[in-house]
Amino acid sequence: MGIPAIWKSTRRNARLMYRMFDRLGVDQETIRRQAPETMAHAAAECGTCPGSEACARWLEYTGVPSSAPTYCLNSELMARLQRIVGPGIDMD
């Protein structure tokens, strides 16, 4: 796999990670501000995930999930973040 293919795969996995945060109701902005190393760790895990196709299908067809799929490399982290951070507060 060449560098352009690796870059494309990494970008796709990052988009999937952000969608997963949104789907699980985890406020990404809070994590970025208060624990950027946690976001970097999650991104690194997603960047190496071999299950991006399954993840994309799961995100597409799963209703309102209570947790990440078991094959997700960040499933335990996502569960902790759901408990600790939860959804952002809409000030509008």
Enumerate the domain spans of the chain.
3-84
Q: What is the pLDDT of residue 67?
A: 93
Q: What is the pLDDT of residue 70?
A: 93
Q: Are 75 and 67 in contact (CB under 8 A)?
A: yes
Q: Which residues of the chain register pLDDT less than 70?
A: 1-9, 87-92
To the nearest whole number, what is the mean pLDDT of the chain?
85
**CB count in 10 Å sphere of residue 13:** 21
Whether the pTM exceeds 0.95: the reply is: no
Distance, in Å, from the CA atom of 33 to the CA atom of 17, rounded to the nearest integer, reads 17
**CB count in 10 Å sphere of residue 89:** 7
Residue whose entry in the numeric block shows the structure tokens 């690194």: 44
